[in-house]
Amino acid sequence: MYLSKLFIPITKDLPAEAKIKSHQLMLRTGMIKQSSAGIYSWLPLGFKVMKKIEQIVREEQNLIGAQEMLMPTIQSSEIWKESGRYDDYGEEMLRIKDRQGREILYGPTNEELITDVFRTSVKSYKLLPQLLYHIQWKFRDEIRPRFGVMRCKEFYMKDAYSFDLSDEDAKKSYNKMFYSYLKTFNRLDLKAIPMAADTGPIGGDLSHEFVILADTGESDIYADKNIFEIDLNRYKFDDSSLQKMREDFTKVYAVTDEKFKKEEFNKLVKKENQIITKGIEVGHIFYFSDKYSKPMNCLIDDKSGKKTSVKMGSYGIGVSRLVGAIIEAKYNNDIMKWPESIAPFKVVIIPSISKNNKENLEKAIKIYQELKKQNIDVLLDDVDENMSNKFKKHDLIGIPYQIIVGAKSDDDNFEFKEVNNTSQILSLDKIKSKLKN
Amino acid sequence: MYLSKLFIPITKDLPAEAKIKSHQLMLRTGMIKQSSAGIYSWLPLGFKVMKKIEQIVREEQNLIGAQEMLMPTIQSSEIWKESGRYDDYGEEMLRIKDRQGREILYGPTNEELITDVFRTSVKSYKLLPQLLYHIQWKFRDEIRPRFGVMRCKEFYMKDAYSFDLSDEDAKKSYNKMFYSYLKTFNRLDLKAIPMAADTGPIGGDLSHEFVILADTGESDIYADKNIFEIDLNRYKFDDSSLQKMREDFTKVYAVTDEKFKKEEFNKLVKKENQIITKGIEVGHIFYFSDKYSKPMNCLIDDKSGKKTSVKMGSYGIGVSRLVGAIIEAKYNNDIMKWPESIAPFKVVIIPSISKNNKENLEKAIKIYQELKKQNIDVLLDDVDENMSNKFKKHDLIGIPYQIIVGAKSDDDNFEFKEVNNTSQILSLDKIKSKLKN
């Protein structure tokens, strides 16, 4: 892609309405554009990052045997009355009347709807366990939307649901998701801490939130740094190993400010292991047993033929929120560097272009064509602008590698730079092999 | 995937509410489940097919240089008031008041929103032409939703928008989309006819709808069969060749009943070339110049520095609708066969299983593992059910190839069948090489 063709409305001004750095960066680099309060369009750069995050989430869900489906955004109020949440949910639920006066709503979450799908589809224990998920837009009518995609009204979320015959089996499903979440955040190059959490309006008695570290996070985090020493590769994908994994994580001290007690922290965690930092919640998992299946009559025949309410959990990851959260974690000292797994492009070629000399641009085009042949996702900055402005712009766009075609390059060697590292002069072959790794 | 693990609630009964065959088939094979009138959940089988269609649409849009982005489902009424369509649109628009009493709506189409994105992003002719598209859920508050996903309320659509400096340039963008649509429908193994069309509430003076042939279609089609002789490969991807392509298509007689005149048909089309059949609209493209850009003040500096309203077109493909339309086109004589490009699985292994003999199942599992190693997307029907029921079920599910492990198979040779063809006894190697082609 040539930068001059990319639909990327970059603005030089710091947008006044944006209070946090992810919101600022996303507006400045044309990743998003606000369409109304708390509602955004995702422009090509932002869209590409979000889709890559979505794909990693999807792959990790598939790997634990979860099946993808898709529930609609608009739901009938009927099922929410069955569960008893229609009146409880409060004003964040966007309630709508259709042209025939029927009460419908824009789903803020999908426990009721998935329970309705399940109760008409599965009747026998033989089909259990089941893990189903979808990735869909949801709506929360925030009274004061702010912080860009971090607290907006229309947001993109993966939510999964587990169905088991017994509480014991259900906890095995819970552990699989716990494992999948940690793997997902690893692939996004994030340091994620699972923390025992309150269940809020979803309900249930077992819940963890997954918090990633970011200096600018919304919650204060107090943890034992040993939590980062636990190696996921130690565990096998079987029930007892995954149970051990959850116990190992849960044993290490890690709490948000709500549960923090200073004496306890000092007693349980050695001074040199204490981490006090900030974090952002990017995932939340819940086990709530028959909280929905019971009132909604979602029954399964057990081995003896007796009907029993299916045992359920739900598991969310904020996909659009992650775009902002990753910026909060990775954008430091005015330089952004996207994790390679989700970078909008792998490498950008930045030629020094002047009115009377297009030689560097021609060289850059040749490199571009070479990299394209190797299926490397490359951006060519063919915009006629001085190098100092270009560098500032790419500090924000955050493509992890740069090839600079200017004074330091000759016919065969070019300046190659990994963001946040010093540059090297390398042959194109060396550059190619570095990028292929 | 093992069929016993797949979330696929198959029903034997013909659903009473389903009047057309795609709706019946989708309910019977558990592709969708109705959640409320005209609103569906997409279960794994249906979801997989829809995602494959979406991916083909996406690839063909990218190939003509269109850039993907994503607009939200919820829009503010303000921009619709600017264009003048807020009052005109009628009751199919789902109008909503948020908790603060602001008028919002669930987008039925996105001309206003994309114009708003564009006017704040692009100011100079240098950045033109631009083609932007998104694939997003839309809502139409149908008073009588029916025919399953063919006429429902919440539907999934690709809509693209073109931006040009002049009417002349804009028609080049129009031709690119025209070409992209024909290529897309070819890849979906559909016979699509472009037809000059009325513009309706979108507006403008140039419009084509793309209609695919299906015996059970909603419109009567009268056409010259020569329209299917036009070979897209004849045209190059340049402006003059694409203009020629559109003219070649437009020259051949093809109309729906609205424009049909018997005498004209008989005069213009030789008897032996006359096709009288039925069709389903699956795409619609519009050129409407400055219909939205003018009232919404979406201005571009031209070469002389003069401000001019950008010239726009819009281009829709009904992605969820296509799932139903393809079934209408391909499901005949109680047998469904998905086009290979979008089939939910490439091949299904059907072993004959009995209580006392699991030998065939074991063989089938070995074949399954072999095919998996070759990255072939295979379903294993491990359900304990008699062969006659299995065959009936797979006639509906529509996986294009079957490997039958039963009486006719020995240790090395198995019955291999392409749906709607006679079966052959083939070695596993031969089967593999057939499937890899």
- Name the token pair of B61: 């849009």
With an 8 Å Cβ cutoff, is A232 touching chain B?
no
Q: Which of B336, B332, B134 is nearest to A48 (CA)?
A: B134
Largest CA distance in chain A: 85
The average pLDDT across A321-327 equals 98
CB atoms within 10 A of CB B410: 9
Flag whether pLDDT at A202 surpasses 80.
no
Question: Angle at which helices B319-330 and B44-63 pack, to 10 degrees?
Answer: 110
pTM over 0.90: yes
Q: Which of B34, B40, B43 to mutate to test the interface with A (most CBs of A within 10 A)?
A: B43
* pLDDT for the residue B85: 95
Q: Does the distance separating the beta carbons of A73 and B35 come in below 8 Å?
A: no
In chain B, positions 36-55, which contact chain A (CB-CB < 8 Å)? 36, 39-44, 47-48, 50
Give chain A positions within 8 Å (CB) of B141: 98-99
**Residue of B1, B33, B51, B113 to mutate, testing the A interface (most A Cβ within 10 Å of its Cβ):** B33
How many other CB atoms are found less than 10 A from the CB of residue A434? 14
Summarize chain B as % helix, strand, coil (round to 5).
Answer: 35, 30, 35
pLDDT of amino acid A153 = 97
* Contact by Cβ (8 Å): B29, B8: yes
Determine the residue of chain A that is closest to B136 in CA distance.
A137
Q: Which value does ipTM take for this structure?
A: 0.96
- pLDDT tens digits for range A211-262: 999 888 888 999 999 999 999 999 999 999 999 999 999 999 999 888 899 9
Give B182-202 pLDDT, tens digit per residue.
Answer: 999 999 999 999 998 877 776
User: Is A360 in the B-facing interface, judged by CB distances under 8 Å?
Assistant: no
Q: Quick check: B106 and A74 CB within 8 A?
A: yes
Contact present, B227 and B263 (Cβ < 8 Å):
no
For residue A112, the chain B residue with the least C-alpha distance is B35
What per-residue confidence (pLDDT) applies to B258?
Answer: 83
How many H helices and E strands in chain B? 12, 21
Q: DSSP string of B46-100?
A: HHHHHHHHHHHHHHHHHHTT-EE-B--SEEEHHHHHHHTHHHHS-TTSEEEE-TT
CA atoms within 13 A on the CB side of A38: 17
- Partner residue facing A76 (CB), from B35, B91, B116: B35
Q: Judged by CB atoms within 8 Å, which residues 132-191 of A form the interface with B? A: 132, 137, 139, 141, 143, 153-154
- Chain-centroid distance of CA A35 in Å reads 22
Which residues in chain B are contacts of A75 at CB distance < 8 A?
35-36, 39
> Which of A47, A65, A126 faces B68 most closely, judged by CB atoms?
A47
**Minimal Cα–Cα distance from B158 to chain A, Å?**
15
Mean pLDDT score, A408-412:
84
CB contacts of B113 in chain A (<8 Å) are 35, 41
H or E stretch at B26 = helix B21-28
Which residue(s) pair with A427 in the sheet?
A: A413
* Shortest Cα distance, chain A CAs vs residue B427, angstroms: 31
Show me where the domains of chain A are located: 21-330, 345-436
Residue type, A196: A
CB proximity A68 to B under 8 Å: yes
Q: What is the pLDDT of residue A197?
A: 80
A333 alpha-carbon distance from chain centroid:
23
Residue from A32, A53, A202, A22 nearest A135 by CA: A53
| Partners of residue B213 on adjacent β-strands | B279
DSSP line for A103-160: EEEE-S--HHHHHHHHHTT--BGGG--EEEEEEEEEE---SS-BTGGGB-SEEEEEEE
Q: Does residue A378 sit in helix, strand or coil?
A: strand
| Number of alpha carbons in the 13 Å side-chain half-sphere of residue A37 | 13
In which residue ranges of chain B is pLDDT below 70? 202-203
Alpha-carbon gap, residue B274 to A187, rounded angstroms = 58
pLDDT in tens, A299-316: 999 999 999 999 999 999
Residue B412: predicted pLDDT:
86
Nearest 5°: phi and psi at A29? -95, 10
Q: Mean pLDDT across the stretch A416-422?
A: 96
Whether residue A205 has pLDDT greater than 80: no
| pLDDT tens-place string over residues A372-388 | 999 999 999 999 999 99
**Residue in B closest to A33 by C-alpha:** B117
Inform me whether the C-beta atom of residue A111 falls under 8 Å from chain B C-beta atoms: no
pLDDT at A312: 97
Interface test with B, best of A2, A7, A10 (most B CBs within 10 A): A7
Report the Cα A56 to chain-centroid distance in Å. 9
Closest residue in A to B68 (Cα) is A44
Q: Which chain A residues are within 8 Å of B143, Cβ to Cβ?
A: 99-100
For residue A33, the chain B residues in CB contact (below 8 A) are 117, 120-121
First to last CA, chain A: 21
**Using CB atoms, which residue from A67, A78, A153 is nearest to B44?**
A67
Of the residues B96, B105, B155, the best mutation for testing chain A's interface (the one with the most A CB atoms within 10 Å of its CB) is B96
- On whether the CB atoms of residues A108 and A201 are closer than 8 A, the answer is no
Residue B225: exposed, middle, or buried by beta-carbon count in 10 A (0-12, 13-18, 19+)? middle
Q: Is B106 on the interface with A (CB under 8 A)?
A: yes
Read off the pLDDT of each residue in A267-290 and give the average, rounded to a whole number.
Answer: 95
Q: Helix, strand, coil % (nearest 5) of chain A?
A: 35, 30, 35
Q: Tell me: the pLDDT tens digits for A120-150? A: 999 999 999 999 999 999 999 999 998 999 9
What homologous superfamily is domain B21-330 in, according to CATH? Bira Bifunctional Protein; Domain 2 (3.30.930.10)
Cβ-nearest to A40 among B48, B72, B132 = B72
Say if CB A198 and CB A207 are below 8 A apart.
yes
Residues of B in contact with A35 (CB under 8 A): 71-72, 75-76, 113, 116-117
Domain B345-436 fold? Rossmann fold (3.40.50)
Of the partner residues A41, A44, A116, the one whose CB lies closest to the CB of residue B71? A41
